[in-house]
Structure 1
Amino acid sequence: MKLYLRVDSETEDTLILQLLESAEKVCQDVIRADEETLKKSNNAKTAIMYTTAYFYEHREEADYKQLMLTLRSLLFGDRKDGF
């Protein structure tokens, strides 16, 4: 993830791990499934990395509505009808 974000130092490792965990949870919510089902999704890795990068880059002015629309588009094929 640090390579994707182009972060060289170790000073933000904790932050990046927290953002990565949050991104996984958000993607699980969007796909309406558990972690195992998310991992089987073709676009899961892309969605998680995109979300983590979005959280990292937009820490102070995030547009969550736009983020959710993008994630729904990425994960639409694997999204469950209901919880």
Structure 2
Amino acid sequence: MSITLKEMKNYLRVDGTEDDTLIRSLIGSAERLCMDVIRTDDVKILYGSKYGKAAVMYAVNYMFEHRTEADFKSLTLSLRSMLFGSRQEAF
């Protein structure tokens, strides 16, 4: 139940194809970051959580828009806030 390229491009309001490779890569990175935040290696658990999909889309948007000056500490804190209820005690 991963986010599709089309769905993410719609969210980002991107029409062309020149950023497709970047967006695909950012989806994978955002999923991994969100899975690390909730302490799981299972993408199904991420997307099964209440705000998992929204968190991934938020992270992709943040990384796409702030490619050159991203503050990953701030991004991670935001994701922790979004996903706090889904966070497991340990891996």
What is the TM-score with the length of structure 1 in the denominator?
0.97
- In structure 1, list runs of 5 or more residues that go unmatched: none
Question: 2 CA distance for matches of 1:36 and 1:13?
Answer: 24
Q: Which amino acid in structure 1 is aligned with residue 84 of structure 2?
A: F
Structure-to-structure mapping, 1:63-82, within 5 angstroms: 63-82=71-90
Q: Which amino acid in structure 2 is aligned with residue 24 of structure 1?
A: E
- Poorly superposed stretches of 4+, deviation over 3 Å: none
Structure-to-structure mapping, 1:1-83, within 5 angstroms: 1-33=8-40, 34-83=42-91
- Compute the RMSD of aligned alpha carbons: 0.6
What is the TM-score with the length of structure 2 in the denominator?
0.88
Deviations 1:30-71 (A, max 9, x none): 010121211110100100000000110011111011101100
Q: How many residues align?
A: 83
Q: Which amino acid in structure 2 is aligned with residue 19 of structure 1?
A: L
- In structure 2, list runs of 5 or more residues that go unmatched: 1-7
Question: 1 CA distance for matches of 2:15 and 2:37?
Answer: 31
Q: Which amino acid in structure 1 is aligned with residue 73 of structure 2?
A: K
What is the percent sequence identity of the aligned residues?
A: 54
